[in-house]
Amino acid sequence: MSFDLLIHGFLTVIQPINFLWMAGGLLGGIFLGAVPGIGPGLGIILLTPLTFYSPPEAVFVMMIAMYCGGMCGGAISSILLRIPGHPSAAPTVFDGYPLAMKGQAGKAIGTSLFASGLGGIFGSLVLILVSTKLATVATKFTPAEYFALAVVGLTVIASVSGKSLGKGLVAAAIGLLIPTVGVDRITGVARFTFGFYSLYEGFHFGPVLVGIFAISEVIRRSGGFTSVEIVAKKIKATFPSWLEFKELWGCILRSSIIGTFIGILPAVGGTTAGFISYGEAVRWSKNPEKFGTGALEGIAAPEAANNAAAPGALVPLLALGIPGSGYTALILAAFMLHGLRPGPLLFVEQPKLVYTIFVGVLFANLLILLLGPWLANIFARVIDIPYSILMPFIIIFSIVGAYAIRKSHFDLWVMFIFGIVGYIMNHYDYPLMPLVLGVVLGDMAEMSLRRALLITGGSFWAVISRPITAGLLIAAVIALILPPLITYVKRKRCMATEAMGKTGM
């Protein structure tokens, strides 16, 4: 890291024209991220050809600010409409929407923006300080390590199954089966298609998530508008109080670390980071029973993680020329359009541009913190709209979001079918989180394991004995065993204390 280049980047970013480009990109990204199925990718695509004759510094600062803004904007529709703005915001639904229904939409959005800003700042500092070193670590990840990472995520199922582990496992099994539909990407064999050509491409998890969350809620509420929950009319967006922050800081820090690390790994992204962080928040919480009812930790954890993953995804892009996510792949295309090739040579040939991007990412996340309460107050007004008026817009957004992903009418049927599935699961108290975890991580676990076995000639021991893989699998076992063990020890101590108290009496 060069302090001279860092100062140059700072002076470049605070130039009025560059700062305005950054602020505009950030606000545009938040707006696009809040619209289900759109996301900041559309903004980056539309702006790429228009910026060909603009200075590279302004162009990339704006694009990356739009990327960061879009990642935090997705939480807004998750909280207000129960529709994730993008897949990374799906875990925020579980506690953000219930908190909004309690009349605390402003608190929910304020907490999400607060955690987003802090997570993004953490990821930005990591990007600035150790980007090249971490990029080399990411290159050591083979399919075996990706399999172990997915296993770590799937161990969370026990923690998020609610009161019934059996129902949680059933939901997880359904989720794990969903990615198996379609043409096998390794052998080319069609699986569970039953002769329907529309099933050959499989189920995209976007329409599945929209159906599970949004359409199921519409079905639940369509029984009569008079039964809709009454929420407070005077909404004031607030960041967490000092006492709340003292309870949240550990969760935000842990989630930021998870998000940054996972963001660095190519093709994993903020969705996986958000779900793993949410699960870890449940696992280590003192009050895990509050999750799913409006817990602030349940909002802060995924938002800190997926916004830390955004700067994290820039690490392999800038240091190695490998995009860490779909959005950074679009930014890579913009680099190439301007005649630039990210990678080790970029730090030598264009060091000022690299450090301008570093500072731009940091400033964009600082702006999220500064503008957070104002933005939350604006968006929180949506909750004032009667549900009888809001419901048609939710359906329209759901249809647009599901269709926009692959431009497929089949995805609309998928959305409605899984809406019915989600409604039935809610009605019979089956938890949705294990199902969603299975959908998100199941494909990654299966494909990574099979590729690893192909590489090792079918030797499972060779897969799990790799140092990083073994470390992750051991961590998964510990994470699975330790929380119930701690609970058991605490229960025994309480029983012993009560017994001593009775003896003393």
Query: Has residue 104 been placed in a domain?
Result: yes
Query: Has residue 479 been placed in a domain?
Result: no
Arithmetic mean of pLDDT, 93-119: 89
Question: By the 8 A CB rule, do 37 and 411 touch?
Answer: no
d(CA 325, CA 305): 14
**Per-residue model confidence as pLDDT tens digits over 150-188:** 888 787 776 666 667 788 888 888 989 999 998 988 888
Query: Has residue 480 been placed in a domain?
Result: no
**Per-residue model confidence as pLDDT tens digits over 456-497:** 888 888 888 888 888 888 888 877 776 667 667 767 777 777
Query: Has residue 135 been placed in a domain?
Result: yes
- Is residue 2 scored above 90 in pLDDT? no
Mean pLDDT of the chain: 82
**Per-residue model confidence as pLDDT tens digits over 227-276:** 444 444 455 667 888 888 888 999 999 999 999 988 888 767 677 888 88
Measured in whole angstroms, the distance separating CA 268 from the mean position of its chain's CA atoms is 11
**pLDDT of 333:** 77
Domain that holds residue 397: 3-448
- Is residue 499 scored above 80 in pLDDT? no
Query: How many domains would you assign to the chain?
Result: 1
Going by pLDDT thresholds of 50, 70 and 90, the confidence category of residue 376 is low
**pLDDT of 228:** 41
Query: Has residue 502 been placed in a domain?
Result: no
Query: Has residue 12 been placed in a domain?
Result: yes
**pLDDT of 89:** 86
> 142: alpha, beta or left, given left = phi > 0 and alpha = psi -120 to 50?
beta
> 386: alpha, beta or left, given left = phi > 0 and alpha = psi -120 to 50?
beta
Indicate the SS3 state at residue 183.
strand
Whole-Å CA distances, 17 to 14, 25, 59, 315, 364: 8, 12, 11, 26, 15
Query: Has residue 493 been placed in a domain?
Result: no
Query: Has residue 40 been placed in a domain?
Result: yes
